[in-house]
Amino acid sequence: AQKVTQAQTEISVVEKEDVTLDCVYETRDTTYYLFWYKQPPSGELVFLIRRNSFDEQNEISGRYSWNFQKSTSSFNFTITASQVVDSAVYFCALSDSGGYQKVTFGTGTKLQVIP
């Protein structure tokens, strides 16, 4: 069975601080996909990134960066120089080797960026 754990329920930071959102996953598959989604107060789910299990390169996209470590089954997400618009719930998610079937979401981390 697949499982995604986001131990941080809520995080508050002051604007311009860096913040890291933790994600730990469990799967028996050797090929799998990891995702991060953002859910702003308006409620929609916004795709941020997808990584496959064979690609452990860290990725940077603007102020966002992701650290994938297979050895610790973690896929952490860092926002550099946080902004108020980053306030949202962030979900880490995992899907099986098909990559297009069932996606298992974590419970989410609510990030509040205080001006």
Partner 1 sequence: EPEVTQTPSHQVTQMGQEVILRCVPISNHLYFYWYRQILGQKVEFLVSFYNNEISEKSEIFDDQFSVERPDGSNFTLKIRSTKLEDSAMYFCASSELPGTSNTGELFFGEGSRLTVL
Pick from 59, 60, 107: which is nearest to 81 by CA? 60
Of the CA atoms within 13 Å of residue 31, those in its CB half-sphere come to: 4
- Residue 44, interface with partner 1 (CB under 8 A)? yes
Out of 31, 72, 98, 114, the only residue in the binding site for partner 1 (CB under 8 A) is 98
From 20-28, 32-40, 58-66, 78-86, give the range in contact with partner 1 by CB under 8 A. Answer: 32-40
- Residue 33, interface with partner 1 (CB under 8 A)? yes
Are the C-beta atoms of residues 51 and 10 closer than 8 Å to each other?
no
- Residue 64, interface with partner 1 (CB under 8 A)? no
Q: How far is the CB of 62 from partner 1 (least distance, A)?
A: 16
Q: Which is nearer to partner 1, 10 or 15 (CB)?
A: 10
d(CA 93, CA 20): 16
In angstroms, the Cα distances linking 37 to 21, 30, 31, 71 are 12, 23, 20, 23
By CB under 8 A, how many residues form the interface with partner 1? 23
Distance of CA 97 to the CA centre of its chain: 19
d(CA 29, CA 84): 37
Q: How far is the CB of 40 from partner 1 (least distance, A)?
A: 11
Site of interaction with partner 1 (CB under 8 A): 33, 35, 37, 42-45, 47, 50, 52, 91, 93, 98-108
